[in-house]
Homo-oligomer: A and B are copies of this chain.
Amino acid sequence: MDTVRPFSQVLDRLRSAGLRPTRQRMALAKLLFDEGGRHITAEMLHAEAQAESIRVSLATVYNTLHQFTQAGLLREIVVDSQRSYFDSNTTRHHHFFNEQTNELADIPDEMIDIAKVPSAPAGMKIKQVDVIIRVGNL
């Protein structure tokens, strides 16, 4: 029942990704990983940081999100051609996307059963299977 993610764990995550644990990265990592399964855009994360009086530029938020994604700490979810969403849950799962509110919600992997998947075209390899269920008002 230990859901707390101690400071050192964030630190280790950054270290093992080869990223220096700077003040900004530590603070953003805390916001992203202290609670699981966050779906967040750069603007949202920047606003959250500001709300907690963490001084970070928007440019650094963008850089950090990409660095974390490259390091496998985040997963980018493409649901909206206007903005990029990042998911702090990198395990296999899928998403609901509410087109009215622009909100993402997780669908646990076991809730979707893809019985048959075509193989990738010749010379290609499947990198990821994304299932996005778009929902809206009745």
Residues from chain B with Cβ under 8 Å of A79 in the complex? 78
For the side of the interface on A, what is the size category? 35 or more
- Chain B CB within 8 A of A16 CB: no
Considering only CB atoms, which chain B residue lies closest to A120 in the complex? B135
Q: Which of the residues B78, B83, B116, B128 comes within 8 Å of A111, measured between beta carbons?
A: B116
Tell me, rounded to whole Å, the shortest Cβ–Cβ distance linking A21 to chain B: 28
- Chain B CB within 8 A of A115 CB: yes
- Chain B CB within 8 A of A84 CB: yes
Binding site for B on A (CB under 8 A): 76, 78-84, 96, 98-99, 105, 107, 111-118, 120-121, 123-138
Residues from chain B with Cβ under 8 Å of A113 in the complex? 114-116
Question: Is there an interface contact between B126 and A135, defined as CB atoms closer than 8 Å?
Answer: yes
Beyond A118-B133, A125-B138, 8 additional pairs, beta carbon < 8 A: A81-B83, A96-B120, A114-B131, A124-B138, A125-B135, A130-B130, A130-B133, A132-B132
Question: Is there an interface contact between A124 and B112, defined as CB atoms closer than 8 Å?
Answer: no
Q: Which of the residues B118, B121, B125, B136 comes within 8 Å of A127, measured between beta carbons?
A: B136
Tell me, rounded to whole Å, the shortest Cβ–Cβ distance linking A112 to chain B: 6
* A69-B40 Cα distance, complex, nearest whole Å: 28
